[in-house]
Amino acid sequence: MVIESTSIEVIETIEELQQRLNRNERKNATVGFVPTMGFLHEGHLSLVKHAKEQNDIVVMSIFVNPAQFGPGEDFESYPRDRERDLRLASSAGVDIVFIPSVEEMYPSDGGIRILPGVQANMLCGASRPGHFDGVLKVVLKLFNIVDPDRSYFGLKDAQQLAIIETFVRDFNLRTAIVRVPIVREEDGLAKSSRNVNLTAAERSEAPAIYRALQIGSDLFASGFDPETIEQRVGESIVSNSSGTIDYVKMLSYPDLGPVTQHSSEVILACAVKFSTTRLIDNIIMSTKDGTYVQNDDEQ
Ligand code: AMP
């Protein structure tokens, strides 16, 4: 299907997409892949922008993946808007949108599982058992279907990105992985499809998360230890919002082990629960001339 007045192609079946992207037919054209769960915002569009700069064909998938949601999580209430997504993807210059149904992606289950390693034991992996199993399952399927040269992932989901980098490296998956910085609202809140599920009051409090992370980043640059920083960041979030802390954690990145003097990059990450919506955010800092500096977000 081709959307009127644009040249974006919308493909709903695996077979059609595999035919369209067959390596023999695409010859030397490179494919950049942007996997999403839809309800697009500027964070997703930044991935598209990077993909367009580096590839001949940009493929976006839109699939709310049930395998990565646990019981009682927000699979049902996750925001969806197909027409709006197609308009945004088209104007951002996506060439092909892959929107499969759940039945198309998971017609059967032979019981084989892909399990992440130690990087999934903390942060969101600890709070959402099985979440990264579901992420790896869909990512492997999508990589096999699209066969991209480069795949684009946001640092908003820094743990996911780290685990996928390890998966690609350890299993010799063909795609390169490109990290894309976090895109934020003007008040600092990290853009997220889930932000629309915040109440008005929660939305006005939510920038407290990034402010607290920045305080943590400053404390780290001043030499404070990870435990003190985690505690101060948690206190700041709780005293400036109605959110409850799922975790605030400082780790070495991307291995997600303890911070040591040898850690060249560290992540300060948190998850905060509001009434119906759980938000995550992070800051990654790297050493420069022996001191830590905060890596810049996307402007
Ligand atoms: P999602 O649709 O939430 O699964 O996200 C799809 C991709 O977009 C993932 O690689 C996310 O990390 C990335 N992403 C989501 N929000 C942002 C953001 N605010 N800035 C940069 N990347 C993002």
Residue with tokens 């989901």: 157
Phi and psi (nearest 5°) for 113? Answer: -120, 145
- What pLDDT does residue 294 have? 78
In SS3 terms, 129-166 reads as CCHHHHHHHHHHHHHHHHCCCEEEEEHHHHHHHHHHHH
- What pLDDT does residue 85 have? 98
- What pLDDT does residue 287 have? 79
How many other CB atoms are found less than 10 A from the CB of residue 204?
13
Amino acid identity at 280 = I
Cα–Cα distance between 193 and 207 in angstroms, integer? Answer: 15
- What pLDDT does residue 299 have? 47
Among 295, 294, 282, residue whose Cα is nearest residue 248: 282
> In sequence order, what are the beta bridge partners of 267?
251, 284
The structure's pTM equals 0.96
- What pLDDT does residue 296 have? 65
Residue ranges lining ligand 1, Cβ < 6 Å: 36-37, 43-44, 46-47, 153-154, 156-157, 180, 182-183, 190-193
Residues of the chain with pLDDT under 50: 299
- All residues at 6 or more sequence positions from 189 whose CB lies less than 8 Å from its CB, including other chains: 195, 203, 206, 207, 209, 210
The residues assigned a catalytic role are: 44
> In sequence order, what are the beta bridge partners of 218?
none
Cα–Cα distance between 265 and 234 in angstroms, integer? Answer: 21
- What pLDDT does residue 239 have? 98
Cα–Cα distance between 156 and 179 in angstroms, integer? Answer: 10
Cα–Cα distance between 288 and 299 in angstroms, integer? Answer: 21
Instruction: Render pLDDT for 43-69 as a digit per residue (tens, 0 to 9).
Output: 999 999 999 999 999 999 999 999 999
Question: Mutate which of 131, 142, 156, 164 to test ligand 1's pocket (most atoms within 8 Å of Cβ)?
Answer: 156
